[in-house]
């Protein structure tokens, strides 16, 4: 007994307890052989053959015992339901998008100009509507995998007649049926996060305690299998079974996606999907490992199951929820409304100061200054941009805090990886906003030029409501920017550069769970 | 006898690890969620007051537009419902574009890490905990061979089932109610706002809904336990049914309603409105061109031209506004029909019922929002019609300032209860069915 302790270098209490119990009089005849030599305990006696046997047995058991089939059917059902729901949502998104871009830009532009008023030798708009000459991002088919921050990327450049001339504004919620908001369509991420993790844990919850209950663990160990071999065979066998079931379901899902929906995953999408698949395998390994840890720490299946479910609830629902709540508490963000109010107050103050400094200036009846006071409008726009930037910064802080806190749970890393690989992650939103600002600035510049064109002014003052073609030519670039401006798409390497930490974390969780299971299993009492 | 069994069951549960974890979840997660959402409530309230002050302090300009706002429901801190997406203000315009304002306090990571509120905790976490608590209540005793001993004491089988149901429900409810009390104290501490009578009534009704919901899942666990031979069978079936009821059924309800009552996308409607608007623009423009021609021939001042333009533009605009509003209303009515159908089908799922009951009572449900929109639109129609009732007279700022301000009348407690009554009945009915299933199945159960 003491040799074992010395070679192991430490003496865990459970181990010495049952070792001394075995040495005591209550169980005569149990000898050192029962627990194996130190070499056999940690398994480097060349047990690869036995390990392979156990491994194959485990997989055969899963496949012919129906467990793998049930898992496959469940995953497939979940994935196909997600596909159906998401394709409905995607269709509607696409429809909305094509409606948005089908508006004849010239016509809208013309309507704008027509409703501008000539007042006090200056142009102002009498039309405050947010009629869009909007640049809206095309829906990305990758939202099937993770919807992520997709809604954040439904912003557009709206052509507001007031200052700042062209404003970024979020499209109002397109979904008017509130039921859709109460029960949002599940994307693949949701199914992997909730269902696949549960199935992986259910595969693992009794791999050791179940064998012990049936008395087969004793038999295996006494038949000469080392603990390392038993651990390796059972762990890998179980894991490969779940992986197989998942792979099959995932392949069918991909087939359905390419044949049943008009989605085509061009470009680097294939590589992204492959990475999503790899991430899912890692995620399964983590949750399988968690189940195995619980199995190695419990003696019976029933308590192991209960503990497994608790751990699942805590890891999948409670920890990410707590992370979000904590971040909201410690890094608060101003509401959109408050920001709008701050902006309004700032603009009003600056306008008042300007009016006091320039006594001759009057305001149009819609309350804004015209294009002639371009300088002050741009000053105001710059100040308002500062308020926006400040708000963006606090949002970014809260986002960073939430995501870092959520990484306590492997589900946090999973969400990051899925959304980033689906181009709907945090970094993608940032990129999108930068692009949008650029387009806004460009449109703003062209429009200002157009309105200040002396020919246009001259014609308008003569009361000509139909602007001739040559003047509209000046507006052409404006319409073109709206049409041709593209949103940049992050390359795969950029995505990988921002997500390596999550790959690392998931890998760490998987290895740590396996290592903990193994360490614990060495001291597991097989009786 | 039943009471003895219930009490024994409660005591037995309290000593287990399961109970400790339930207490942790209820007394940690619930208060944290309520504390954070209380701050959100305060921020929303600040927004409401700010918006209102801004609108009241506006000098003139009320001829073209007038803002109306909805006060924040207090129970938003507990049951957020659709308040996250809801329209809490509308800028009513004299041209047809009423601009809904729906700025709410929302975390930027909401889409990926959703904020956890009480509805979610009860619906997802507590229901799963209820299944975990009860899945082996009979099959577990059988596995340990204690069921045989129990039955040899001439205990009626039905009282055993009822006793277990009451005991286990109490074991889950006590920590939950404790968490609720702590949370309410936190809410009052943070916001410094006391509840009115109808809020207390709504809270009581919601607690009732939670009790019904939790007891439903306990009964489900017991029924499954009475229908299976071993605990591991019970848990697998229990989990499967939990997933079906909580995640899939609401989805299926929504999808069914969508395919039964199809609704065009909002953009399609917007485009139709836009076509109508372009027609209206076109007509206005033609009249304007004629006016300019006349002005040139007769040598008008530009001020007179402007006045002439306004004279024909206002009545035309009013006509157009009414046309657009009727188009919008048609669309809304179809959406409403779809939604109503979806909600009716979602009652099949206990989670669907619970969700609807909780948010209806908390005044954060769809009907509260509809109620506000209806009121606002009615007010807008009345306001602008009244303002330009005399076509020869342009509306003035003085007249606008003298108009009666918008006052939101919140949904009365009775009508909120009316909306919640069907979900509550559905929950109660499912309870009864499951109790019957449990009793019948256990009567046929082989206890050996």
Let me know: does B63 contact B387? Beta carbons within 8 Å.
yes
A106 touches chain B (CB under 8 A): no
Alpha-carbon gap, residue B319 to A150, rounded angstroms: 39
A513 lies in a domain? no
A449 touches chain B (CB under 8 A): no
A319 lies in a domain? no
Query: Do residues B282 and B371 share a domain?
Result: yes
Q: Can you say how many angstroms the Cα of residue A188 is from the centroid of all Cα atoms in its chain?
A: 11
Chain A residues with beta carbon closer than 8 angstroms to that of B289: 465-466
Q: Can you say how many angstroms the Cα of residue B93 is from the centroid of all Cα atoms in its chain?
A: 28
Let me know: does A141 contact A90? Beta carbons within 8 Å.
yes
The residues, any chain, with a CB within 8 Å of residue B183's CB and separated by 6 or more, are: B30, B31, B33, B34, B35, B78, B118
A386 touches chain B (CB under 8 A): no
Q: Is it the case that residue A43 has pLDDT exceeding 50?
A: no
**Which residue from A minimizes the CA distance to B340?**
A179
Residue B268: Cβ-neighbour burial (10 angstroms; 0-12, 13-18, 19+):
middle
Per-residue pLDDT at A244: 92
CA distances from A208 to A32, A42, A227, A520, B236 (A): 22, 16, 11, 11, 19
Which of A69, A156, A337 is the best mutation test for B, with the most CBs of B within 10 A? A337
Q: Residue with structure tokens 């038949």? A: A223
The percent of residues in chain A predicted with pLDDT above 70, rounded, is 69
B255 lies in a domain? no
A30-64 b/e (C-beta count within 10 Å ≥ 16 → b): beeeebbeeebbbbebebeebbebbbeebbeebee
Per-residue pLDDT at A172: 56
| Shortest Cα–Cα distance, B242 to chain A (Å) | 12
Return the axis-axis angle of helices A374-406 and A319-330, rounded to nearest 10°.
Answer: 140
Query: Do residues B124 and B235 share a domain?
Result: yes
A338 touches chain B (CB under 8 A): yes
Alpha-carbon gap, residue B180 to B160, rounded angstroms: 30
pLDDT tens digits, one per residue of A208-233? 888 888 888 888 787 777 888 888 88
Residue A88: Cβ-neighbour burial (10 angstroms; 0-12, 13-18, 19+):
middle
Query: Do residues A358 and A475 share a domain?
Result: yes
Tell me the two tokens of residue A378. Answer: 């741009």
pLDDT band at A170 (very low <50, low <70, confident <90, very high): low
Cis peptide before A229 (omega within 30 of 0): no
DSSP single-letter state for residue A137: P
Determine if residue A142 is left, alpha or beta; phi over 0 gives left, psi from -120 to 50 gives alpha, anything else beta. Answer: alpha
Chain A residues with beta carbon closer than 8 angstroms to that of B271: 99, 102-103
Total number of domains in chain A: 2
Which of B76, B113, B342 is the best mutation test for A, with the most CBs of A within 10 A? B113
Helix (H) or strand (E) segment spanning residue A156: strand A155-159
| Shortest Cα–Cα distance, A91 to chain B (Å) | 10
A229 lies in a domain? no
> Number of A:B CB contacts under 8 A?
229
Alpha-carbon gap, residue A158 to B61, rounded angstroms: 23
A218 touches chain B (CB under 8 A): no
Alpha-carbon gap, residue A155 to A368, rounded angstroms: 25
Tell me the two tokens of residue A154. Answer: 């439904």
Query: Do residues B281 and B414 share a domain?
Result: yes
A430 lies in a domain? yes
Q: Can you say how many angstroms the Cα of residue B135 is from the centroid of all Cα atoms in its chain?
A: 31
**Which residue from A minimizes the CA distance to B263?**
A177
Q: Can you say how many angstroms the Cα of residue A34 is from the centroid of all Cα atoms in its chain?
A: 50
Per-residue pLDDT at A174: 60
Quick check: B143 and A302 CB within 8 A? yes
Residues in chain A: 527
| Shortest Cα–Cα distance, B3 to chain A (Å) | 27
Alpha-carbon gap, residue A268 to B349, rounded angstroms: 41
Quick check: helix, strand or coil at residue A478? helix
Per-residue pLDDT at B115: 79
* Half-sphere exposure (Cβ direction) of B215: Cα atoms closer than 13 Å: 23
Per-residue pLDDT at B157: 85
Let me know: does A238 contact A288? Beta carbons within 8 Å.
yes
Chain B residues with beta carbon closer than 8 angstroms to that of A74: 240
pLDDT tens digits, one per residue of A398-443? 888 988 899 999 999 999 999 999 988 888 888 888 888 887 777 7
More confident residue, A357 or A201: A201
**Which residue from A minimizes the CA distance to B97?**
A129
A402 touches chain B (CB under 8 A): yes
Quick check: A176 and B332 CB within 8 A? yes
Per-residue pLDDT at A9: 38
The pTM is what? Answer: 0.80
**Residues B23, B172, B149: CA angle, nearest 5 degrees:** 115
The torsion angle over the Cα atoms of residues A61, A64, A70 and A73, rounded to 10 degrees, is 130
CA distances from B101 to A129, B73, B373 (A): 14, 17, 11
Residues in chain B: 448
Quick check: B36 and A328 CB within 8 A? yes
Q: Which of A372, A514, A302, A130 is nearest to B274 (CA)?
A: A130
Query: Do residues A19 and A157 share a domain?
Result: no
Query: Do residues B223 and B129 share a domain?
Result: yes
Query: Do residues A21 and A109 share a domain?
Result: no
Residue A331: Cβ-neighbour burial (10 angstroms; 0-12, 13-18, 19+):
middle
Query: Do residues A111 and A1 share a domain?
Result: no
Mean pLDDT throughout A109-118? 49
Alpha-carbon gap, residue A14 to A5, rounded angstroms: 12
Total number of domains in chain B: 2
Per-residue pLDDT at A188: 93
B357 lies in a domain? yes
Chain B residues with beta carbon closer than 8 angstroms to that of A202: 236, 239
Per-residue pLDDT at A275: 94
Alpha-carbon gap, residue B433 to B431, rounded angstroms: 6
Mean pLDDT lowest for which of A36-45, A187-196, A346-355, B148-157?
A: A36-45
Q: Is it the case that residue A38 has pLDDT exceeding 50?
A: no
Q: Is it the case that residue A162 has pLDDT exceeding 90?
A: no
A195 touches chain B (CB under 8 A): yes
Of B102, B105, B235, the CB nearest to A173: B102
Quick check: A321 and B235 CB within 8 A? no
Query: Do residues A345 and A493 share a domain?
Result: yes
Let me know: does A162 contact A368? Beta carbons within 8 Å.
yes
Which of B111, B121, B140, B142 is the best mutation test for A, with the most CBs of A within 10 A? B111
Query: Do residues B286 and B335 share a domain?
Result: yes
Query: Do residues A353 and A473 share a domain?
Result: yes
Of B103, B104, B339, the CB nearest to A178: B339
Quick check: helix, strand or coil at residue A339? helix
Structural domain that includes position B390: 60-101+260-424
Structural domain that includes position A25: 1-35
Tell me the two tokens of residue B47. Answer: 């927004």
As separate numbers, helices (DSSP H) first and strands (DSSP E) second, chain A gives 23, 4
Of B33, B132, B339, the CB nearest to A310: B132
Q: Is it the case that residue A462 has pLDDT exceeding 60?
A: no
A199 lies in a domain? no
Residue B96: Cβ-neighbour burial (10 angstroms; 0-12, 13-18, 19+):
buried
Query: Do residues A352 and A491 share a domain?
Result: yes
Chain B residues with beta carbon closer than 8 angstroms to that of A100: 267
Alpha-carbon gap, residue B6 to B159, rounded angstroms: 9
Alpha-carbon gap, residue B441 to B225, rounded angstroms: 9
Alpha-carbon gap, residue A276 to B269, rounded angstroms: 37
Per-residue pLDDT at A218: 81
Per-residue pLDDT at A33: 45
B399 lies in a domain? yes
Query: Do residues A373 and A446 share a domain?
Result: yes
A185 touches chain B (CB under 8 A): yes
Query: Do residues B167 and B25 share a domain?
Result: yes
B54 lies in a domain? no
Of B25, B266, B288, the CB nearest to A465: B288
pLDDT tens digits, one per residue of A237-255? 999 999 999 999 999 999 9
pLDDT average per 10 residues of sequence, chain B (448 residues): 84 83 86 88 87 78 80 87 77 67 66 82 90 85 79 82 91 92 91 84 93 95 89 82 87 86 79 78 80 84 81 84 83 86 90 92 86 86 78 72 83 88 94 93 82
Quick check: B281 and A180 CB within 8 A? no
* Neighbour count for residue A3 (Cβ, 10 Å): 10
Query: Do residues B326 and B206 share a domain?
Result: no
Query: Do residues A477 and A349 share a domain?
Result: yes
CA distances from A485 to A32, A437, B51 (A): 77, 12, 36
Query: Do residues B183 and B309 share a domain?
Result: no
Cite the beta strand spans of A278-409 per DSSP E: none
| Shortest Cα–Cα distance, A291 to chain B (Å) | 15
More confident residue, A516 or B320: A516
Alpha-carbon gap, residue B65 to A124, rounded angstroms: 18
* Half-sphere exposure (Cβ direction) of B66: Cα atoms closer than 13 Å: 23
A332 touches chain B (CB under 8 A): yes
Helix (H) or strand (E) segment spanning residue A352: helix A336-357
Residue B193: Cβ-neighbour burial (10 angstroms; 0-12, 13-18, 19+):
middle
Let me know: does A320 contact A406? Beta carbons within 8 Å.
yes
Query: Do residues B81 and B157 share a domain?
Result: no
B167 lies in a domain? yes
| Shortest Cα–Cα distance, A320 to chain B (Å) | 7
Q: Is it the case that residue A516 has pLDDT exceeding 90?
A: yes
A194 lies in a domain? no
Q: Can you say how many angstroms the Cα of residue A146 is from the centroid of all Cα atoms in its chain?
A: 6
Per-residue pLDDT at A240: 92
Q: What are A125's strand-pairing partners?
A: A116
Alpha-carbon gap, residue A190 to A279, rounded angstroms: 14
Q: Is it the case that residue A24 has pLDDT exceeding 50?
A: no
Mean pLDDT lowest for which of A115-124, A488-497, B103-112, B259-268?
A: A115-124
A239 lies in a domain? no
Per-residue pLDDT at A356: 82
Per-residue pLDDT at A243: 94
Of A128, A322, A338, the CB nearest to B32: A322
Q: Is it the case that residue A4 has pLDDT exceeding 50?
A: no
């Amino acid at each position: 007994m003491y040799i074992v302790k010395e070679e192991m270098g430490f003496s865990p209490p459970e181990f010495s307890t049952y070792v001394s119990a075995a040495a005591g009089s209550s169980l005569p005849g149990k000898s050192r052989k029962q627990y194996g030599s130190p070499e056999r305990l940690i398994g480097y006696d060349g047990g690869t053959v036995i390990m392979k046997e156990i491994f194959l047995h485990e997989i055969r058991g899963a496949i012919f015992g129906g467990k793998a089939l049930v898992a496959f059917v469940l995953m497939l059902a979940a994935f196909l339901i997600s596909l159906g729901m998401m394709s409905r949502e995607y269709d509607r998104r696409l429809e909305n998008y094509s409606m948005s871009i089908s508006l004849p830009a010239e016509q809208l532009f013309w309507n704008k100009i027509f409703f501008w008023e000539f007042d006090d030798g200056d142009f102002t708009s009498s039309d405050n509507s947010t009629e869009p000459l909007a640049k809206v991002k095309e829906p990305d088919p990758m939202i099937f995998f993770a919807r992520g921050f997709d809604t954040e990327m439904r912003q557009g450049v709206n052509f507001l007649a007031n200052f700042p001339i062209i404003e970024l504004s979020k499209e109002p919620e397109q979904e008017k049926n509130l039921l859709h908001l109460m029960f949002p369509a599940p994307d693949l991420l949701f199914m992997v996060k909730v269902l696949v993790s549960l199935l992986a844990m259910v595969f693992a919850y009794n791999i050791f305690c179940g064998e012990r209950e049936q008395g087969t663990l004793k038999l295996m160990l006494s038949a000469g299998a080392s603990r390392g071999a038993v651990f390796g065979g059972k762990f890998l066998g179980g894991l490969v079974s779940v992986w197989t079931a998942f792979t099959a379901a995932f392949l069918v899902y991909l087939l359905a996606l390419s044949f049943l929906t008009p989605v085509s995953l061009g470009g680097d999408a294939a590589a992204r999907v492959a990475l999503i698949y790899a991430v899912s395998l890692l995620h399964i390994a983590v949750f399988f490992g968690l189940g195995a840890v619980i199995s190695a720490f419990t003696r019976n299946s029933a308590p192991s199951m209960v503990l497994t479910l608790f751990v699942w609830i805590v890891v999948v629902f409670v920890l990410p929820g707590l992370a979000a709540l904590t971040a909201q508490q410690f890094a608060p963000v101003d509401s959109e409304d408050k920001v709008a109010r701050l902006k309004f107050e700032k603009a009003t103050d600056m306008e008042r100061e300007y009016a006091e400094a320039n006594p001759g200036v009057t305001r149009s009846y819609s309350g804004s200054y015209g294009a002639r006071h371009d300088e002050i409008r741009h000053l105001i726009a710059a100040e308002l941009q500062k308020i926006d930037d400040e708000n963006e910064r606090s949002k970014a802080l809260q986002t960073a805090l939430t995501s870092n806190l959520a990484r306590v749970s492997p589900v946090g890393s999973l969400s990051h990886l899925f959304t980033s690989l689906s181009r709907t992650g945090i970094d993608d939103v940032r990129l999108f906003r930068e692009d949008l600002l650029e387009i806004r600035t460009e449109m703003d510049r062209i429009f200002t030029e157009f309105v200040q064109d002396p020919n246009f002014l001259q014609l308008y003052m003569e009361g000509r409501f139909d602007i001739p073609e040559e003047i509209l030519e000046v507006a052409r670039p404006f319409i073109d920017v709206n049409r041709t401006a593209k949103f940049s798409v992050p390359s795969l390497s950029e995505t990988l550069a921002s997500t390596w930490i999550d790959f690392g974390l998931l890998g760490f969780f998987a290895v740590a769970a396996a290592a903990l299971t193994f360490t614990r299993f060495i001291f597991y009492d097989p009786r | 006898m039943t009471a003895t069994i219930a009490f024994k069951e409660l005591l037995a549960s309290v000593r287990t690890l399961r109970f400790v974890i339930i207490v942790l979840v209820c007394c940690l997660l619930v208060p944290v969620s309520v504390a954070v959402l209380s701050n959100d409530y305060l921020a929303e309230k600040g927004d409401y007051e700010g918006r209102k002050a801004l609108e009241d302090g506006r000098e003139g300009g009320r001829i073209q537009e007038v803002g109306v706002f909805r006060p924040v429901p207090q129970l938003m801190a507990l049951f957020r419902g659709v308040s996250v997406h809801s329209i809490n203000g509308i800028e009513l315009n004299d041209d047809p574009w009423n601009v809904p304002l729906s700025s709410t306090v929302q975390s930027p990571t909401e889409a990926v890490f959703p904020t956890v509120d009480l509805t979610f905790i009860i619906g997802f976490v507590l229901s799963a905990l209820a299944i975990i608590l009860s899945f082996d209540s009979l099959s577990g005793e059988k596995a340990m061979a204690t069921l045989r001993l129990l039955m040899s004491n001439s205990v009626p089988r039905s009282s055993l089932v009822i006793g277990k149901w009451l005991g286990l429900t109490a074991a889950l409810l006590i920590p939950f109610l404790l968490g609720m009390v702590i949370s309410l104290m936190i809410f009052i501490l943070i916001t410094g706002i006391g509840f009115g009578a109808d809020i207390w009534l709504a809270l009581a009704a919601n607690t009732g809904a939670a009790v019904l919901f939790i007891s439903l899942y306990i009964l489900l666990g017991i029924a499954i336990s009475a229908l299976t031979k071993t605990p591991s069978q019970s848990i697998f079936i229990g989990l499967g049914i939990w997933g079906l009821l909580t995640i899939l059924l609401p989805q299926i309800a929504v999808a069914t309603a969508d395919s039964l009552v199809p609704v065009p996308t909002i953009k399609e409607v917007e485009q139709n409105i836009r076509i109508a608007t372009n027609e209206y623009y076109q007509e206005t423009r033609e009249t304007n061109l004629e006016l300019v021609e006349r002005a040139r021939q007769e040598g008008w001042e530009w001020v007179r031209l402007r006045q002439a333009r306004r004279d024909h533009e206002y009545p035309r605009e009013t006509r157009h506004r009414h046309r657009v509003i009727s188009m919008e209303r048609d669309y809304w009515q179809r959406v409403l029909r779809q939604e109503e159908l979806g909600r009716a089908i979602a009652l099949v799922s206990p989670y669907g019922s619970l969700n609807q009951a909780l948010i209806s009572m908390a005044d954060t449900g769809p009907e509260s929002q509809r109620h506000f929109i209806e009121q606002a639109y009615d007010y807008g129609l009345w306001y602008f019609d009244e303002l330009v009732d005399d076509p020869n007279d342009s509306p003035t700022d003085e007249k606008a300032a003298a108009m009666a301000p918008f006052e939101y009348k919140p949904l009365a407690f009775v009508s909120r209860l009316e909306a919640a009554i069907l979900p509550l009945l559905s929950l109660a009915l499912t309870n009864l069915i499951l109790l019957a299933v449990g009793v019948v199945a256990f009567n046929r159960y082989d206890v050996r």
